[in-house]
């Protein structure tokens, strides 16, 4: 019998778990042709999430729980899931019921047809602020243009991955993770299905604007070196303009003399160039920071407990 793992990363989801679990049970009951594993990754929650999970495990041996030693973020929590999943395929589901489990049978259907990566594309983004929608659209467009392979718009982490995809993803151990990009990077046979993304059941999205911004920077810098090129190109054009202007100044001084003038324009140029230089250094710094982090070769995460047993 084929085994399917449902991976749920959880960070402070004690209110959502009692709503999610019955949905998953319903799904598993309706699809008894498969063996199921519910793999919950407790990402250092501060509330009763872990207790809720253990209660579930006591009633249901299909539940497996990895508890991390602190909050590592969803990207890392998913890597933990890739490492611990036992299934022949895996479906990643958010704990807040924004990803309807009712879509999973359709995903399995396509998996059985030979697709390795069945992902759900949002028709609507649910209730999100206008600014948030705008920003995320802008980000996707930027990323699309700056990298060499398809980055998908309006596609989240809700997807079914074949064992081959999981194994490929497990080999990608970078510390600054942008998993959405990795799904595209590994390739394999992909299938898109559409759905309406609901609203978060309980609680707030734990992504603040600042976190989203830093995820965006991670996304761009880990999948493209285009920003580094921007400074080269800008530098080239500015030097060209400066050269032309130099000739103008030279010829003017030669034929019409050189009355001291142009203090404001001088200041503007200096400030402008200074700004560009700082920006370029900042961009380089982003990459160097990543090289630094990567070169430390730290483990990607620390597990505290697996199924109530302390991991040493």
The residues of the shown chain that bind ligand UDP, judged by CB under 6 A, are: 9-11, 13, 43, 71, 73-74, 77, 94-96, 98, 200, 205-207
Among Mg ion, ligand UDP, none, residue 77 binds (CB under 5-8 Å by kind)? ligand UDP
Binding piece for Mg ion, criterion CB under 5 A, among 63-71, 97-105, 162-170, 178-186:
97-105
Q: Which residue number, 257 or 299, has a Cβ lying nearer to ligand UDP?
A: 299
Of 75, 154, 168, the closest CA to residue 120 belongs to 154
Please tell me whether residue 12 binds Mg ion under the rule CB under 5 A.
Answer: no
The minimum distance between CB 192 and ligand UDP, in angstroms, equals: 19
| 206 contact choice in ligand UDP, Mg ion, none (CB below 5 to 8 Å, kind-dependent) | ligand UDP
User: What does the alpha-carbon distance between residue 146 and residue 165 come to, in Å, rounded to a whole number?
Assistant: 24
Contact 311, 304 (CB under 8 A): yes
Q: Which does 162 bind (CB under 5 to 8 A by kind): Mg ion, ligand UDP, none?
A: none
Length of the chain, in residues = 312
Site for Mg ion in 272-311 (CB under 5 A): none
Which of the choices Mg ion, ligand UDP, none does residue 11 contact, using the CB cut-off of 5 to 8 A by kind?
ligand UDP
Check binding of 96 to Mg ion (CB under 5 A): yes
Instruction: Return the sign of the alpha-carbon dihedral for residues 214, 219, 224, 230.
Output: negative
At 109 the three-state DSSP class reads helix
Burial of 253: CB neighbours in 10 Å, binned 0-12, 13-18, 19+: exposed
> Whose CA is closest to 68, among 85, 43, 45, 39?
43
Decide if 122 contacts 154 (C-beta within 8 A).
yes
Q: Is 90 helix (H, G, I), strand (E, B) or coil?
A: strand
Partner from Mg ion, ligand UDP, none binding residue 116, C-beta < 5-8 Å depending on class: none
Which residue's entry shows tokens 């598993």? 28
Select from ligand UDP, Mg ion, none the partner in contact with residue 71, using the beta carbon and a kind-dependent cut-off of 5 to 8 Å: ligand UDP
| Residue 212 C-beta: closest distance to ligand UDP, Å | 9
> Which of 305, 307, 312 shows the shortest CA–CA distance to 69?
305
Query: How near is the Cβ of 193 to ligand UDP at its closest, in Å?
Result: 19
Under rule CB under 5 A, how many of the chain's residues touch Mg ion? 4
* Strand, helix or coil for residue 157: strand
Least CB distance to ligand UDP at residue 157 (A): 8
Closest distance of CB 284 from ligand UDP, Å? 29
- 43 makes contact, choosing from Mg ion, ligand UDP, none, with CB < 5 to 8 Å by partner type, with ligand UDP
Among candidate residues 155, 16, 14, 175, the one with its CA nearest the CA of residue 92: 155
Binding residues for Mg ion restricted to 189-218, rule: CB under 5 A: 200
Asked whether position 98 contacts Mg ion by CB under 5 A, the answer is yes
Q: Quick count: other Cβ atoms within 10 Å of Cβ 277?
A: 13
Return residues touching Mg ion (CB under 5 A). Answer: 94, 96, 98, 200
């Amino acid at each position: 019998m084929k085994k399917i793992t449902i991976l749920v990363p959880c960070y402070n989801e004690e209110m959502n778990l009692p709503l999610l679990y019955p949905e998953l049970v319903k799904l598993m009951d309706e699809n008894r042709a498969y063996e199921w594993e519910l793999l919950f990754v407790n990402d250092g929650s501060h509330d009763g999430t872990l207790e809720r999970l253990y209660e579930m495990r006591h009633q249901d041996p299909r539940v497996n729980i990895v508890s991390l030693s602190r909050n590592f973020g969803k990207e890392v929590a998913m890597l933990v899931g890739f490492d611990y999943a036992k299934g022949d395929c895996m479906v990643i589901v958010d704990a807040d019921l924004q990803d309807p489990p009712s879509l999973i049978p359709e995903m399995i259907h396509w998996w059985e047809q030979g697709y390795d990566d069945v992902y759900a594309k949002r028709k609507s983004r649910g209730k999100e602020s206008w600014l948030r929608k705008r920003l995320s659209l802008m980000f996707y467009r930027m990323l699309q243009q700056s990298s060499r392979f398809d980055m998908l718009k309006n596609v989240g982490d809700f997807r079914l991955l074949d064992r081959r995809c999981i194994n490929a993803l497990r080999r990608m151990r970078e510390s600054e993770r942008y998993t959405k990009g990795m799904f595209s990077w590994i390739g394999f046979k992909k299938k898109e299905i559409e759905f309406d993304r609901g609203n978060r059941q309980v609680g707030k999205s734990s992504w603040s604007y600042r976190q989203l911004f830093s995820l965006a920077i991670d996304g761009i810098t880990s999948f493209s070196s285009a920003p580094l090129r921007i400074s080269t190109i800008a530098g080239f054009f500015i030097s060209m303009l400066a050269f032309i202007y130099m000739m103008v100044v030279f010829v003017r001084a030669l034929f019409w003399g050189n009355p001291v003038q142009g203090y404001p324009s001088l200041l503007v140029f200096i400030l402008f160039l200074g700004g560009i230089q700082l920006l370029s250094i900042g961009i380089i710094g982003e990459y160097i920071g990543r090289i630094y982090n990567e070169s430390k070769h730290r483990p990607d995460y620390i597990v505290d407990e697996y199924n109530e047993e302390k991991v040493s």
